[in-house]
Structure 1
Amino acid sequence: KWEERKDGSVRIEQVIYVERDSQKKIALGKNGDAIKAISTASRKELSEILEQPVHLFLFVKVRENWGDDPERFREMGLEFPRG
């Protein structure tokens, strides 16, 4: 989700899908340290590229076998890799 705000900033909400709970734990890191580092670095880079403040909200969700579902790729604007 992308939302232009009245104050000139942009709000971005993004879901990161993983296939297993163990992967979610890795993506989040201990006490959320990994996802916080990813979010901070991403927010900084996006702000520089867009030349405006960015409010970035990342969510990690488990969705089994999402990598095998062509519809999931289409939702993200990607082409499903044919094996």
Structure 2
Amino acid sequence: SAVETEKYSEREDGSLEIHQQILVARPTQRAIVLGKGGARIKAIGEAARTELAKLMGVKVHLYLHVKVHAKWDEDRTLYRDIGLEWVE
């Protein structure tokens, strides 16, 4: 899986609003990330929100979406955006 940031903005109250997509290759992986009744994605979001708030020193509003993108691992732009080099 990979995480892609769609939106990152500061709200009027000084808190941060972050929208991210979790990319997976298959629908079965999407189901695993979501978990039963959304329990796993909720836990992931809560842990990430807590860690980000601690790092940034402000309240964070984190919105996570799980998207099936069959060939995300072949996207050179995505690799570059997350700080990795594409190796042939």
When the two structures are superposed, what TM-score results if normalisation uses the length of structure 1?
Answer: 0.90
Please, what TM-score do these two structures have when normalized by structure 2? 0.85
* 1:23 partnered with 2:54: no
Q: Are positions 1:12 and 2:25 aligned together?
A: no
User: Which one has the bigger strand percentage?
Assistant: 2
- Give the equivalent residue in structure 1 for 2:3: none
Identity %: 43
The one-letter amino acid of 2:19's match is E
- Stretches of structure 2 lacking an aligned partner (at least 5 in a row): 1-6
Q: Quote the RMSD (CA, aligned, Å).
A: 1.3
Aligned length: 82
Alignment deviations for residues 54-83 of structure 1 (CA, whole Å, 9 cap, x no partner):
000001000011102213323x34334425
Higher RCO (Cα < 8 Å, 6 or more apart) = 1
Q: Which residue of the other structure, out of 24, 38, 42, is the alignment partner of 1:32?
A: 38
For residues 44 and 82 of structure 2, what CA distance do their matches in structure 1 show?
22
